[in-house]
Amino acid sequence: MDVLKHISIPMLAFLAITRELSLFLLAVFTFGAIFPDFDVFFDEHRSYFHSLIFLTPLSLLSLWTHSMYLWLFTAGAAFHIFLDFFSGVIPFLYPIKKRGLGVKIMGLVVFESLPRLKIRYGLIIGYPERSKGSHTAFSNESVAMLIVALAALLLRLST
Ligand SMILES: [Zn+2]
């Protein structure tokens, strides 16, 4: 999943569940939601920061310190990993075990005598990809999602 989706989807979720809008808290949550992809600076992408070995101590630390900022950052990182689970594999125990899991779900509309929905799903198993090389930074649909998220933010700010 590209960075614009990792910004816009958590931003929309944050706007939907918060009563009072704080741009600083939104920024902390959104930074947490993109942070796991900074593991692209290691040899393998979707590695250290996409692992429960990173997320679990962070979660415990946020509970222990009662820091709302750390809790929001951690929630953003967890949101990132949740989204990535639907767009590839997550190596939950990296670096102990590099093999990861993901889920693939696809709905097809089949037009025969009557249109019907055919759903295909399954687990995918794979390994983190090498960080070197080219990766998709964003796409048309992710730009559209960011525009929608920014419009929702502007609407919240204006009310
Ligand atoms: Zn990621």
CA of 46 to the centre of ligand 1 (A): 6
pTM over 0.85: yes
pLDDT digits (tens, 9 = 90+) for 54-112: 999 999 999 999 999 999 999 999 999 999 999 999 999 999 999 999 999 999 999 98
Give 37 Cα–ligand 1 centroid separation in angstroms: 5
Distance 38 CA to ligand 1 centre (A): 8
pLDDT score of 137:
83
Give distance in angstroms: CA of 119 to centre of ligand 1. 25
**Per-residue pLDDT at 134:** 80
Distance, first Cα to last Cα, the chain: 31
CA of 152 to the centre of ligand 1 (A): 24
* pLDDT tens, position by position, 98-129: 999 999 999 999 998 889 999 999 999 999 88
Domain enclosing residue 73, as ranges:
3-158
Q: By percentage, how much of the chain surpasses pLDDT 90?
A: 86
Q: How far is the CA of 126 from the centre of ligand 1 (A)?
A: 14
Domain count, the chain: 1
Three-class SS state of 2? coil
pLDDT on residue 150: 97
* All residues at 6 or more sequence positions from 144 whose CB lies less than 8 Å from its CB, including other chains: none
| CA 112 – ligand 1 centroid, Å | 38
